[in-house]
Amino acid sequence: MGEFVRLEVTDGIGTIRLERPPMNALNTQVQEELRSAAHAASTDDQVRAVVVFGGEKVFAAGADITEFTTVTYQEMVARAGALSSAFDAVARIPKPVAAAITGYALGGGCELALACDFRVVADDAKLGQPEIRLGIIPGAGGTQRLARLVGPAKAKDLIFSGRMVDAEEALRIGLADRVAPAADVYSTALALLRPYTTGPALALRAAKEAIDGGLSVDLASGLALESHLFAGLFATDDRVEGTTAFVEKRKPKFTGR
């Protein structure tokens, strides 16, 4: 698909692969290729779930800092929105998405992982938001998604200090959902997502939209969103199949329609 990012589809799972050695630095080109891959995964009906994977050695060690040394304020004002929206395209994939993290997920790499629904982390991996050490802050969702995931106090601890956390701490604070040996991270992510490939795709989409959308509004608005999405699912074939299968005491065969 792109020079550094490609989408592969096997058995209903799309893998967005980052391939910019040695550290998968997320320069402007990689960001735009990520956006394209996310859009492709979103619109391909053959893709029922997605893994974001940087390879066996490293997930993504952050932005390409060489791009930051000469950029002006005026230039970054023009670029900052595109940077954030590229990661947001991953967050908005309307299907279950897991980050398979080996090596390092730092800065933009951690923000990319935060844009996923789940994070499978190698037992020797390191995660963090070290931007403060460069005199800046996370600019692609880190201050917002990290706080929503682990709470504001812990997010401030990590962002204010710029320190890295290991897999054990990441699991303890909720930044990681699974920890596995590095060699098994990708297969563990696949195993996590595989049940969703035969699930009710429209209901999964609605559940993700309700949860993510509800986090950005007050409770009453979130409940209204949930009711709207809940009612809409009664127009789907999978709702008919699921309820009928329950009554008939058999396993449903969902088609994603």
pLDDT in tens, 52-89: 999 999 999 887 777 788 888 888 888 888 888 999 99
Residue 82: its pLDDT value, please?
83
Instruction: Give the C-alpha separation, 84 to 95, whole Å.
Output: 20
Instruction: Give the C-alpha separation, 208 to 237, whole Å.
Output: 19
What does the pLDDT look like over 91-112, one tens digit per residue? Answer: 999 999 999 999 999 999 999 9
Instruction: Give the C-alpha separation, 236 to 160, whole Å.
Output: 47
Given the residues 108, 139, 141, 142, the one annotated as active site: 108
Residue 5: its pLDDT value, please?
97
Residue 8 among the catalytic residues: no
Residue 107 among the catalytic residues: no
- pTM of the full predicted structure? 0.94
E-state strands within the chain: 5-10, 13-18, 49-53, 97-101, 104-106, 118-122, 126-128, 164-166, 178-180
pLDDT band at 123 (very low <50, low <70, confident <90, very high): very high
Average pLDDT in the chain? 95
Instruction: Give the C-alpha separation, 167 to 179, whole Å.
Output: 7
Percentage of residues of the chain with pLDDT beyond 70: 100
Instruction: Give the C-alpha separation, 196 to 205, whole Å.
Output: 11
Given the residues 86, 100, 107, 111, the one annotated as active site: 111
> What are the C-alpha distances in Å from 116 to residues 177, 208, 232?
11, 11, 25
Q: What is the mean pLDDT of residues 229-247?
A: 96
Domain extents for the chain?
A: 5-197, 200-247
Residue 99: its pLDDT value, please?
98
Could you tell me if 201 and 254 are in contact, meaning their C-beta atoms sit under 8 angstroms apart? yes
What does the pLDDT look like over 136-152, one tens digit per residue? Answer: 999 999 999 999 999 99
Q: What is the CATH architecture assignment of 5-197?
A: Alpha-Beta Complex (3.90)
What's the distance, Cα to Cα, between the start and end of the chain in Å?
Answer: 28
Retrieve residue 224's tokens: 């209204």
> What are the C-alpha distances in Å from 42 to residues 11, 91, 92, 173?
16, 10, 8, 30
Instruction: Give the C-alpha separation, 8 to 10, whole Å.
Output: 7
Does position 163 have pLDDT exceeding 90, yes or no?
A: yes
Residue 83: its pLDDT value, please?
83
When the candidates are 2.60.40.10, 2.70.40.10, 3.40.50.720, 1.10.12.10, the CATH number that belongs to 200-247 is 1.10.12.10
Residue 104: its pLDDT value, please?
97
What does the pLDDT look like over 26-59, one tens digit per residue? Answer: 999 999 999 999 999 999 999 999 999 999 999 9
Residue 56 among the catalytic residues: no
What does the pLDDT look like over 167-211, one tens digit per residue? Answer: 999 999 999 999 999 999 999 999 999 999 999 999 999 999 999
Instruction: Give the C-alpha separation, 124 to 247, whole Å.
Output: 47
Instruction: Give the C-alpha separation, 203 to 238, whole Å.
Output: 8
Residue 256 among the catalytic residues: no
Does position 162 have pLDDT exceeding 90, yes or no?
A: yes
**Does this chain's domain 5-197 share its CATH topology with 200-247?**
no
Residue 64: its pLDDT value, please?
75
Q: How many CB atoms lie within 10 A of CB 19?
A: 15
Using the structure block, give the residue that is written with the tokens 């897999």. Answer: 167
